[in-house]
Amino acid sequence: MAEITAAMVRELRDRTGAGMMDCKKALAEAGGDMEAAIDWLRKKGLSAAAKKSGRVAAEGLVGVASGPNVAAMVEVNAETDFVARNEAFQGFVAEVAGLALSVGDDVEKLKAATYPGTMHSTQDELTRLIATIGENMTIRRAKVLTVASGNVATYVHNAVKPGLGKIGVLVALEAASEIEAMEMLGRQIGMHVAAARPTALDITGVEPSELEREKAVLREQAAGSGKPAAIIEKMIEGRIRKYYEEVVLLEQMWVHDGESRVKEVVRKAGGTLTGFARFQLGEGIQKETTDFAAEVAAVAGKG
């Protein structure tokens, strides 16, 4: 049997948050294999990280990173907003965003990639962070945009640190020259996207199911008007144009002047807008709601 050293026990404790004796037993059961010992603890429910994995994590940070002709954005969630102010957590999010520049935006590949400056995976580093901070955390999603020439601009709304905040945006602008001008325009478009929340780059990018849903609503609204079917269809066409102006980035009114369309601003600048991404922290996550008074009453035997 492999010798179980104090250093091995300490490392396992750091990575899982389990008790010292449990870590020693796990290593013994696994013959000194660290990864097998981690699995043994998780199966027994003794890993602190495993115990926390079922808790809702809807807070955290969005992080962005950029390189030549490429930029990446990640969302890493935690349970409370307090963790977003933790320097270790902030450092982790920044490192993962930087890692995505080379690994790509497949979350499973990101988790499996070697964490910078270590010999272990990014998921193992996250597990260690969970044990240290004491909250469930997840790498939820990532996005990488590239251009052949031009710039992929980044924007973070209300940043807590450079490149870290609650809303992040990537904007891909193709351009033959004047990269600095494209950087400035990209940042302005990033601010626009953060505020206007478009869901598609152009009209062809609108989800067909969403478009049909909108048309169905409009038809239902127009059905009681008493107008002929041909007139109703023209009314719907006009309203769909308005719908595009609400959800399509290139069709939206430029928030910086309230007069131009985004497509006109980009055309005048001599660039081509080829893609964008917007992450808002926790969007789409079903958060738990609790009635504190009811909880207290229940504990007191009154509920």
Is residue 298 included in any domain, yes or no? no
**Of 270, 276, 211, nearest to 250 (Cα)?**
276
**Of 155, 141, 49, nearest to 97 (Cα)?**
141
Is residue 113 included in any domain, yes or no? yes
Domain hosting residue 23, numbered range: 6-52
Given a cut of 90, whether residue 53 has pLDDT beyond it is no
Q: Could you tell me the CATH number of the domain that includes residue 18?
A: 1.10.8.10
Answer yes or no: do 118 and 42 share one domain: no
Structural domain tally of the chain?
3
Residue 53 in 3-state DSSP? coil
Query: What is the per-residue pLDDT across 180-233, written as a single tens digit (0 to 9) for each?
Result: 788 899 999 999 999 999 999 999 998 888 888 887 877 777 777 777 778 877
Is residue 154 included in any domain, yes or no? no
Helix boundaries (H) for the chain: 6-16, 20-29, 34-43, 48-52, 87-103, 107-112, 122-133, 179-196, 208-223, 229-247, 262-269, 292-299
For 68, residues 6+ apart whose C-beta sits below 8 A from its C-beta are none
Answer yes or no: do 61 and 129 share one domain: yes
Residue 118 in 3-state DSSP? coil
Per cent of the chain over pLDDT 90 is 49
Is the pTM for the entire model greater than 0.85?
no
Query: What is the per-residue pLDDT across 80-112, written as a single tens digit (0 to 9) for each?
Result: 888 899 999 999 999 999 999 999 999 999 999
